[in-house]
């Protein structure tokens, strides 16, 4: 019984994380994302690095809805 298999070429955990490699989910990394504020809002800097402020709302009360 059981399935007969050959010798594996790689270890089964080959795809697992390698320590030292940057992780996108890393805690604290969020604060380095340009245009994302700590209060869960964002600015036009999220969408563009060129003259981003000119794409922000003209009135302070308006929501900041940046282009994709």
Q: Is 34 in the site for other proteins (CB under 8 A)?
A: no
Q: Are 40 and 30 in contact (CB under 8 A)?
A: no
What one-character DSSP code corresponds to residue 36? B
Whole-number Å distance between alpha carbons of 67 and 36: 13
Q: Distance between CA 15 and CA 13 in Å, rounded?
A: 5
x/- mask, other proteins, residues 45-64, rule CB under 8 A, reads: -x----------------xx
Q: State the nearest-atom distance from the C-beta of 67 to other proteins, in Å.
A: 7
Question: What is the binding site for other proteins (CB under 8 A)?
Answer: 1-9, 11-13, 15-17, 25-30, 36, 40-42, 46, 63-68
């Amino acid at each position: 019984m059981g399935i007969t298999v050959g010798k594996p070429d790689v270890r089964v955990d080959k795809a697992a994380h390698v320590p030292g490699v940057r992780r996108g989910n890393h805690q604290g990394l969020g604060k380095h994302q340009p245009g994302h504020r700590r209060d869960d809002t964002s600015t036009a800097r999220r969408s563009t690095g060129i003259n981003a402020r000119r794409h922000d709302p003209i009135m302070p009360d308006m929501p900041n809805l940046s282009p994709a």
